[in-house]
Chains A and B, each alone.
Chain A
Amino acid sequence: DAKTTQPTSMDCAEGRAANLPCNHSTISGNEYVYWYRQIHSQGPQYIIHGLKNNETNEMASLIITEDRKSSTLILPHATLRDTAVYYCIAISNFGNEKLTFGTGTRLTIIP
């Protein structure tokens, strides 16, 4: 897996867009960028993933730079329930690679 780097913590005001950055400068051509989050006392929850095109679903948007060395997860209108640890993972969808979690970004939504 390519190593990813995320800020340790971030704050965001409720109702504003939360933009969570992730650096994956050593990502290889067949590795996807996955985002999971973990709310306190729960297991991780899948959010979104992408290869090189921007992706959007009902939870978030994923913006991947053209060189694929970094990406941003966007929560368009953050609510208090979005307070969680967010994990960015770069991994191939093929072969025997395993989903490996780092320490993630602790996002706190401020009322």
Chain B
Amino acid sequence: EAGVAQSPRYKIIEKRQSVAFWCNPISGHATLYWYQQILGQGPKLLIQFQNNGVVDDSQLPKDRFSAERLKGVDSTLKIQPAKLEDSAVYLCASSLVYSGANVLTFGAGSRLTVL
């Protein structure tokens, strides 16, 4: 089966500019996650979608970050305006919805460098 697709793989921008990342989950996976991974740290959950509804966005910096999942399939994460501390890898993951598992499939990530 095809994996979780993310693009772009790398992006370099200057502070105060905007950037968008795209994610296409595994077909049939109703749950989609965006994680932020700063160098040397474990991934941190930013937002979780169930189909096209938000389940948890408690750690999303809503003043600058936004995410949407139209039609319950692919998703876009946007940062506007970017800050230096947003430099990180943005990981998208998806999972099936059924009781009894936290088995997520991750994409390769989008590495953002803010100068």
Give A contacts to B, CB under 8 Å: 32, 34, 41-46, 49, 87, 89, 91, 93-94, 96, 98-104
Q: How many A-B residue pairs have C-beta atoms within 8 angstroms? Tell me.
A: 54
Rounded to whole angstroms, the CA-CA distance of A32 and B44 in the bound complex is 19
> Which residues of B are at the interface with A, using a C-beta cutoff of 8 A?
4, 35, 40-45, 48, 55-56, 91, 93, 99-109
A53 to B: closest C-beta gap in Å: 14
Per DSSP, are chain B's interface residues mostly helix, strand or loop, or mixed?
Answer: loop
Residues on the B chain within 8 Å of A91, using CB:
102
Kindly state the separation between the CA atoms of A81 and B101 in the bound complex, as whole angstroms.
26
Q: Which residues of B contact A42 (CB under 8 A)?
A: 106, 108-109
CA distance A45 to B55 in the complex (A): 23
Contacting residues, chain B, for A89 (C-beta < 8 A): 102
How close is B3's CB to chain A, nearest CB, in angstroms? Answer: 9
Q: How far is the CA of A101 from the CA of B35 in the complex (A)?
A: 10
